[in-house]
Structure 1
Amino acid sequence: MEELASQAGITVRTLRFYRERGLIQPPRREGRIAWYDEHHLARLRTIAALLERGHTLNGIADLATAFESGRDVGEVLGLGEPTEETPVRLSPEELADYFEGEVTPENLAAALDLGYLATDGDEIVHISRRLLDVSAALVREGVPLAAVLDAGRRVRTHAEALADLFVEVLSAHTAASDVEKLRPLAKSVVDAELSMALDRRLRDTSGPAPAGD
């Protein structure tokens, strides 16, 4: 314990307090010897970084609980499944930097439930670089992360229905081996239709142009 506290730059008393609060996992024991490892040190450094970013110990404890109850990366991404998305590995403090002030236990639990985030040891894995960047951009524009996650949940319902539609159509008229090859065409149809739908909605929202003099 003294060695771990020294490497983490904290006192043994603080380390004991963190253990009592459940902020770090218990050590591995062999008889009367307690063994700490690099995972304990990484967690202590994460706690220090989150404290510097304004998180409270109660908030960090809640985040740790949500984090540890999340599905692991193998369960979320699957093994060997094809994907066009690029996963991103993040430390908890890097995730906090992406969504400054918005990484709450509730939002973390929602993202884990959606499968946007997964756990891999002491790291967090976001399933999609594109979704991560777009979500962060929306938050920077003033959209609350909770609203972004709720929209993602609703979008997924429609996306699943569209995927079912295209797989059904393509499977009915092409060989099974061609379905994956035609995937870009299906995406182009959805992108074009969404673009035109946004044009219509924005035009309806803006209303008629004012009459000239």
Structure 2
Amino acid sequence: MGGQPPAEPASEEYTVDQLAAKVGMTVRNVRAYAGRGLIPPPRLVGRTGYYGPDHVARLTLVRELLGKGYTLSAVERMMSELPDGALALGVFETLVSPWTPAEPEVITEQQLADRAGIPHDPATIAKLIELGIAERVDDGRLRIPNPDLLRTGLEVIKLGVPLDAIFEMLPKLFEQADQVAKIYVELFRNTVWRQFADAGLPAEGWPEIQRTLENIIPLAGQALVAAFRESMGREIETAAYEELGLPPDEFSSTG
């Protein structure tokens, strides 16, 4: 066998330098993560190591998790329980993608005031920053982490609802949203995920976990909207009774 030439790298394999460039890391970081067991050893051809799609997926997942604020120790724990990199990355993207807000915007204070149709007021800007709706960047402009949330708030302002009332309502809204999110997450953890974890996280079960997540996340949103619509109808009807001074049986129900 010794007279045979070494095997050539496969078409989707990379040297450590090519791998680092592909995943947007330094070679030093790639080697460090490999040393911590976050990626499996490369395929050796002579003295050269070649890395494949699984290494790319796992390092991409490491980068994404670190970018979300997880510590390296937490990433290590998660990666030790995950399947091959491609499946792990797929599950992670399924979890976060549907709930990732639109790309953040950077605007001036005056642009924000113009959008709201109100005069520029430093106190209003300070309150938006306090609530986490805006962040100050180095050049003095404002970074809006969740433009969809801001856009909704601006539409409410245009309906004539005072800013003070909106500022008072937002912390309550955020708190309720957190509670609803926890309910759904715990539902998934205590049923589908618990059964999967008790079975030892079998590799063949990950595609089914991903399919479940892909279906349960939009369904959770639809159920929340449906429940909210029904609750909103009851609250509006009750408020109408109270404001008109009529008992419910004297006011035709909206049904």
TM range (shorter): 0.5 to 0.7
The one-letter amino acid of 2:100's match is E
Cα shift at 1:169? 0.9
- 1-structure distance, mates of 2:120, 2:192: 45
State the match for 1:204 in structure 2. Answer: 238
SS at match of 1:188: helix
- 2-structure distance, mates of 1:127, 1:94: 16
State the match for 1:75 in structure 2. Answer: none
Q: Moved runs in structure 1, 4+ residues, more than 4 A? A: 176-180
The one-letter amino acid of 2:145's match is I
- 2-structure distance, mates of 1:152, 1:105: 19
Matched, 1:132 2:166: no
Cα shift at 1:159? 0.8
State the match for 2:228 in structure 1. Answer: 194
Please, what TM-score do these two structures have when normalized by structure 2? 0.46
- Report if the CA contact (8 A) 2:110-2:120 is conserved: no
User: Among 69, 79, 84, which residue is 2:67 paired with?
Assistant: 79
- 2-structure distance, mates of 1:102, 1:161: 35
SS at match of 1:142: coil
Q: Evaluate the alpha carbon distance shift between residue 171 and residue 186 of structure 1 in structure 2; reply closer, same or farther with a 3 A threshold.
A: same
Cα shift at 1:95? 0.9
Q: Whose radius of gyration is greater, 1 or 2? A: 2
User: Among 159, 183, 186, which residue is 2:217 paired with?
Assistant: 183
Cα shift at 1:112? 1.1
Q: Evaluate the alpha carbon distance shift between residue 136 and residue 91 of structure 1 in structure 2; reply closer, same or farther with a 3 A threshold.
A: same
State the match for 1:151 in structure 2. Answer: 169
Cα shift at 1:156? 0.6
The 5 Å alignment of 1:1-213 reads 79-80=67-68, 82=96, 83-86=99-102, 87-101=104-118, 103-122=120-139, 123-175=141-193, 178=210, 180-181=213-214, 182-207=216-241, 208-209=250-251
- 1-structure distance, mates of 2:123, 2:115: 16
Q: Evaluate the alpha carbon distance shift between residue 91 and residue 180 of structure 1 in structure 2; reply closer, same or farther with a 3 A threshold.
A: farther
The one-letter amino acid of 1:141's match is L
- 1-structure distance, mates of 2:67, 2:220: 24
Cα shift at 1:100? 3.4
Unaligned runs of 5+ in 2: 1-65, 70-95, 197-208, 242-249
Q: Evaluate the alpha carbon distance shift between residue 105 and residue 93 of structure 1 in structure 2; reply closer, same or farther with a 3 A threshold.
A: closer
Unaligned runs of 5+ in 1: 1-77
**RMSD of the alignment, in Å?**
2.5
SS at match of 2:67: coil
- 1-structure distance, mates of 2:154, 2:124: 13
- 1-structure distance, mates of 2:134, 2:150: 10
Please, what TM-score do these two structures have when normalized by structure 1? 0.54
Aligned length: 133
State the match for 1:30 in structure 2. Answer: none
Q: Evaluate the alpha carbon distance shift between residue 183 and residue 139 of structure 1 in structure 2; reply closer, same or farther with a 3 A threshold.
A: same
- 1-structure distance, mates of 2:219, 2:168: 28
